[in-house]
């Protein structure tokens, strides 16, 4: 799985803590985790394309959450980075079997059951991710780390290095 997924999730949480008033630049988000700025910017662009964050250019520009944290699921962030395709790609090798005369032609009217089995697992994975919003994650973290919210917000918006 793409490494940017982890970056995107943490950055979205940070943007949630930063609040919607002011935008946070990619450089500042990258500095927070010592990540390569330009590459993180690429991930943020992907989030912007999917309407998860909104970007504003120019001075005082940067990124902010485009929706409320309650309206953004973890799945949204993951699919924005990874794309919509499921991990398991059925290449239909089953249909390349020899002598379809022996194997009934009717066999191939049915969907590939191997594909179905993998699709079920993929669905369970997506369902689990879709069941958690950024707000849930944010609340959980604040529960175990009360200082995280204000501390992160202060560092991102303040001038501190």
Residues lying near DNA in the complex (CB under 7 A) are found at 2-4, 23, 25-27, 36, 38-39, 41-42, 44-45, 48-49, 55-63
> Are residues 24 and 50 in contact, defined by beta-carbon separation less than 8 angstroms?
no
**Site track 46-85 with its own copies (rule: CB under 8 A), x = hit:** ----------------------------x-----------
Tokens of 136: 């849930």
How does DSSP assign 1-38, residue by residue? --THHHHHHHHHHHHHHH-SSS-B-HHHHHHHHT--HH
- Asked if residue 159 binds its own copies (CB under 8 A), the reply is no
Exactly one of 39, 94, 157, 159 binds its own copies (CB under 8 A); that residue is 94
CA 38 to CA 59: how far, in whole Å? 17
Closest to DNA by CB, 87 or 121? 87
């Amino acid at each position: 799985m793409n490494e940017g997924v982890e970056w995107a999730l943490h950055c979205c949480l940070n943007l949630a803590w930063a609040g919607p008033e002011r935008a946070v630049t990619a450089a500042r988000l990258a500095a927070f985790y010592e990540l390569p700025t330009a590459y993180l910017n690429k991930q943020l662009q992907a989030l912007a394309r999917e309407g998860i964050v909104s970007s504003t250019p120019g001075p005082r520009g940067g990124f902010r959450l485009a929706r409320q944290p309650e309206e953004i699921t973890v799945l949204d962030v993951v699919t924005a980075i990874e794309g919509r395709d499921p991990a398991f790609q059925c290449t239909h090798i089953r249909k390349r079997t020899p002598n379809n005369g022996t194997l009934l032609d009717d066999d191939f009217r049915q969907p590939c059951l191997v594909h179905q089995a993998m699709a079920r697992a993929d669905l369970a994975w997506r369902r689990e991710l879709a069941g958690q919003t950024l707000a849930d994650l944010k609340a959980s973290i604040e529960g175990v780390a009360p200082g995280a919210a204000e501390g992160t917000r202060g560092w991102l918006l303040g001038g501190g290095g």
